[in-house]
Amino acid sequence: MGEEKLIASVAGSVERVNKLICVKALKTRYIGEVGDIVVGRITEVQQKRWKVETNSRLDSVLLLSSMNLPGGELRRRSAEDELAMRGYLQEGDLISAEVQAVFSDGAVSLHTRSLKYGKLGQGVLVQVSPSLVKRQKTHFHDLPCGASVILGNNGFIWIYPTPEHKEEEAGGFMANLEPVSLADREVISRLRNCIVSLVTQRMMLYDTSILYCYEASLPHQIKDILKPEIMEEIVMETRQRLLEQEG
Amino acid sequence: MAGLELLSDQGYRVDGRRAGELRKIQARMGVFAQADGSAYIEQGNTKALAVVYGPHEIRGSRARALPDRALVNCQYSSATFSTGERKRRPHGDRKSCEMGLQLRQTFEAAILTQLHPRSQIDIYVQVLQADGGTYAACVNAATLAVLDAGIPMRDFVCACSAGFVDGTALADLSHVEEAAGGPQLALALLPASGQIALLEMDARLHEDHLERVLEAAAQAARDVHTLLDLVVRQHVREASILLGD
């Protein structure tokens, strides 16, 4: 190729900063950055670590030493801990974690060294494209409508009933298996449908947009939200409200 | 078929096209929300659907992981209702495997696999209606799907078939022209550099004619590139407008 032409390798929007030209693809798999909150599913239990699927190019890694164990944080991981790994997290469990480091090939190393991370109990998971989740200061939101939501940077969104009291959980392992009330279930279903409609219309997801969409959808029945006409109407209303709020 | 002239004296083919004219191409990207990338293309009456998953962790045997590149896995499938006669095609039959292998070779040349070591990219192509030029339609659909998935590629991969009748090279053969039994060639091209990703022919053609047929196919592939480029730009523009950029 003799000509001096720059050809992009992906299709997307161009971002230019002085002499740096960058083309950001419309949708890609999740690319980890240190400090991101992710929601992932355990796919494998290996010798001293778990492999977590986070919608990225390679499965993420959760080391045993990066996990909170009951009994305090500073306990040294012994051989018994290794053998009891499956007792903490099994294949198919959902966890929330934070990105600790990124390896050179793009794989991400997670940690759950805080009480707010850990195994997730009852709730609904929505999988969206990572590019639609807006980066904010906090990704754990308690919405006033009666449910809580975790907006994972990797595009996994977890909606769950707000726990009544912030109890001191044992590192987040004890899953609360009490039956969830019908009112809570309805709120969660409505939120899930709202998120799906926002994603279909390619709107950025953050707590305000989700909340406005929820309020705009209240006159409709939960199952009607997924109909294309009603979806457009609700999202249009949400967009207007957001513009008014900013302007 | 006696009496069916593939090229009339005035230079018109069976469906009224000129020798170097392509069929009407319509394409759409992002048809499936669940897949990482998807695309649908119609080239005349040939309809193909492509779906891309990846790059993702290699499932199944970990031993197949390449330490420095991504593994590209292609599967071709033809619907039972795609041809004139309804024909059930078992999943692992020779034609599907061969097409899958050809698609894999084509896309390994175009996708920048060094950027995704130890991962796997799956490309599934399904032909819904086969009216000639199925390989070309599959490659074009798969290119759009890979672009939709945001996987970096060296360039578009544009493909077209070509044949040779009465001393003239024909571009983009339909089923009638393919069934007539003349030599036919399928070419997959990277348009910007003019490099050939895959060239396939399994008929007999005199070497004197090869140059012309190849040139006809290359020109047709470049025309396909112009169209696919428009489709991609349109798609990105619409998506950016919705996102409010």
Inter-chain touch B152–A9, beta carbons under 8 Å: yes
CA distance A211 to chain B (A): 18
Contacts of A43 in chain B (CB under 8 A): 57
Average pLDDT over residues A172-195: 84
Inter-chain touch A11–B193, beta carbons under 8 Å: no
Instruction: Please give the CATH topology (third level) of the domain spanning B21-243.
Output: Ribosomal Protein S5; domain 2 (3.30.230)
Minimal Cα distance from B32: which residue of A? A200
Return the beta strands (E) in B191-235 as ranges: 195-201
Inter-chain touch A26–B239, beta carbons under 8 Å: yes
CA distance A107 to chain B (A): 10
Phi/psi of residue A228, nearest 5 degrees: -55, -40
Instruction: Pick the residue of A9, A15, A131, A134 with the most B CBs within 10 A to test the interface with B by mutation.
Output: A9
pLDDT tens track for B161-215: 999 988 889 999 999 998 888 899 999 999 998 999 999 998 889 989 999 999 9
* Contact between residue A63 and residue A53 where contact means Cβ atoms under 8 Å apart: no
At B3 the pLDDT is 58
> In angstroms, rounded to a whole number, what is the distance separating the alpha carbons of residues B37 and B29?
8
* Contact between residue A60 and residue A70 where contact means Cβ atoms under 8 Å apart: no
- Percent helix, strand, coil in chain A, to 5, is 25, 30, 45
Report whether pLDDT(A171) > 50. Answer: no
A102 near B CB under 8 A: no
By C-alpha distance, which of A163, A180, A164, A243 is closest to A208?
A243
Inter-chain touch B242–A106, beta carbons under 8 Å: no
> In angstroms, rounded to a whole number, what is the distance separating the alpha carbons of residues B74 and B143?
12
CA distance A49 to chain B (A): 16
> In angstroms, rounded to a whole number, what is the distance separating the alpha carbons of residues B175 and B180?
9
Question: CA dist B32 to A131, B51, B52, B164, Å?
Answer: 17, 8, 10, 38
* Contact between residue B150 and residue B52 where contact means Cβ atoms under 8 Å apart: no
At A201 the pLDDT is 87
> In angstroms, rounded to a whole number, what is the distance separating the alpha carbons of residues B91 and A157?
36
β-strands A37-45, A20-25: how paired? unpaired
Question: CA dist A9 to A177, A179, B110, B230, Å?
Answer: 48, 50, 10, 16
Report whether pLDDT(A106) > 90. Answer: no
B104 CB-near residues (< 8 Å, 6+ apart): B72, B73, B74
Helix or strand holding residue A9 (H, E):
none
* Contact between residue A232 and residue A201 where contact means Cβ atoms under 8 Å apart: yes
Q: Write down the H helix ranges in chain A.
A: 79-83, 85-88, 182-200, 207-217, 228-246
What residue type is B68 in one-letter code? D
**Cis preceding-peptide flag for B55 (omega within 30 of 0):** yes
- How many CB pairs below 8 Å do chains A and B form together? 68
CA distance A105 to chain B (A): 7
Report whether pLDDT(A10) > 50. Answer: yes
> In angstroms, rounded to a whole number, what is the distance separating the alpha carbons of residues B42 and B28?
9
Q: Quick one: pLDDT band at residue A113, thresholds 50, 70, 90?
A: confident
Report whether pLDDT(A170) > 50. Answer: no
A84 CB-near residues (< 8 Å, 6+ apart): none
At B1 the pLDDT is 47
Inter-chain touch B243–A29, beta carbons under 8 Å: no
Average pLDDT over residues B17-30: 93
Inter-chain touch A10–B112, beta carbons under 8 Å: no
> In angstroms, rounded to a whole number, what is the distance separating the alpha carbons of residues B163 and B184?
4
At B48 the pLDDT is 96
> In angstroms, rounded to a whole number, what is the distance separating the alpha carbons of residues B120 and A228?
34
Question: CA dist A119 to A35, A46, A96, A167, Å?
Answer: 18, 18, 7, 15
pLDDT tens track for B142-163: 999 999 999 999 999 999 999 9
Phi/psi of residue B164, nearest 5 degrees: -140, 115
Average pLDDT, chain B: 91
> In angstroms, rounded to a whole number, what is the distance separating the alpha carbons of residues A110 and A50?
10
Report whether pLDDT(B107) > 90. Answer: yes
